[in-house]
Amino acid sequence: MLRNQQFTSKERVRMAFSHQQPDRVPINYLCNPGIDARLKRHFGLAGEDDEGLRLALNVDFRSVNPPYVGPELFPQLPERLVDLWGVHMRYIEHESGGYWDYCDFPLKDADLEAVQNYPMPSPDDFDYQVAAAEAAHYHAFWVTTGGAGTGDIINRTSMFRGMEQVLVDLITDNEACLAFMNRRMKIELEILGRTLEAARGKIDMVWLGEDLGTQKSPMISKRLYRKHLRPRHQQYIDVAKTFGLPVIVHTCGSSSWAYDDFIEMGVDAVDTLQPEAAAMSPAYLKATFGERLAFHGCISTTGALAYGTADDVRRDVQDTLAVMMPGGGYALAPTHQIQDNSPTENVLAMYDAALHLGRY
């Protein structure tokens, strides 16, 4: 690598995820609405100018997904937001802003017949050419499709049945729950395949997700993961590999216990990487998996970014880079999404430090 060579974002991320050292560490941005709005005001941007903010923060990643253009499947309800799949959410305010929290769980007590008759969007009702056009527009950036909810079995199903019920369902092989997972998965796989076909050669990576840990331990046993989740995750990975694309998996909490399985399945990179969680410190991840996986995340949204000073944030970024940078294989990003309780100056310090301290 030539020290003064300037790479495009696409080239930069490709090199980093291939365990090479580009000009600098790639940078990504994930946020909650409150801090997003504050950052846009800081840069004098309009509230809808997502691209302007990403350019201001030197973000190397872009995400595209086909928009839904079909009929409305579920009516909106008072004091609720109902999404495309019928998930119910209510707005919860807090001192820093607010968030949409999942509630009501419309399939909590559903039997097999109710699950089989539940309305779901058709893969025919998505505009794949829009995704292809957006991917072409972002040709200089590292373009991903999917997201943290794509392929996510536990969390996404819990939005319909409740978390406790889903965990019980997995242990007891509940036929209604498993049938729901399979119906949703079949639709998602079709959407993913059609997206990749429409944007063939324009998308660089498939993004999947599955939260597998609490802060202290695995959420489920490895046996249960291999019985119910791994075979389903493998189908998403296989679609990506059919198109010759790498795969990144979003995993909140203490999730490194599953990374050897991920590697066997063909996963190339892992995201979130909460350093406070058990067996998730940057040093442990780099030493244990650094030659076999690339990393995306590691900057805690519950540490200095939220509760420290700007100087604390710079030190946090510097310490993380010192571990993760050598040999490539790292993109700097927040763990999950930057929360609304993060001071604007701290977030700006994070991205300034990433840009200037992350150079090879």
pLDDT, tens digit (0-9, with 9 covering 90-100), for 246-303:
999 999 999 999 999 999 999 999 999 999 999 999 999 999 999 999 999 999 999 9
Arithmetic mean of pLDDT, 182-189: 98
The domains of the chain are located at 9-70+107-357
CB hemisphere CA count around 101 (13 angstroms):
7
Contact 320, 303 (CB under 8 A): no
Q: How confident is the model at residue 4 (pLDDT cuts 50, 70, 90)?
A: low
CB hemisphere CA count around 172 (13 angstroms):
10
pLDDT for the residue 6: 84
Arithmetic mean of pLDDT, 57-70: 98
- Second CATH level (architecture) for the domain 9-70+107-357: Alpha-Beta Barrel (3.20)
Q: How confident is the model at residue 97 (pLDDT cuts 50, 70, 90)?
A: confident
- What is the rounded average pLDDT for all residues in the chain? 97
- What helix, strand, coil percent values describe the chain, rounded to 5? 45, 15, 40
pLDDT for the residue 1: 42
Arithmetic mean of pLDDT, 151-167: 98
pLDDT digits (tens, 9 = 90+) for 308-345: 999 999 999 999 999 999 999 999 999 999 999 999 99
2 pLDDT above the threshold of 50: no
**How many whole angstroms separate alpha carbon 295 and alpha carbon 293?**
7
Name every residue whose Cβ is closer than 8 Å to that of residue 247 and which is 6 or more positions away in sequence: 205, 206, 207, 208, 236, 237, 240, 241, 266, 267, 268, 269
Q: How confident is the model at residue 45 (pLDDT cuts 50, 70, 90)?
A: very high
Which H or E run includes 102? strand 97-103
236 pLDDT above the threshold of 50: yes
**How many whole angstroms separate alpha carbon 112 and alpha carbon 108?**
12
Q: How far is CA 351 from CA 35, 46, 80, 143, 276, in A?
A: 14, 20, 35, 20, 21
**How many whole angstroms separate alpha carbon 335 and alpha carbon 209?**
13
Share of the chain above pLDDT 90, in %: 97
| Residue 234, φ and ψ in degrees, nearest 5 | -60, -35
Query: Is the alpha carbon torsion for 108, 112, 117, 123 positive or negative?
Result: positive
Arithmetic mean of pLDDT, 214-235: 97
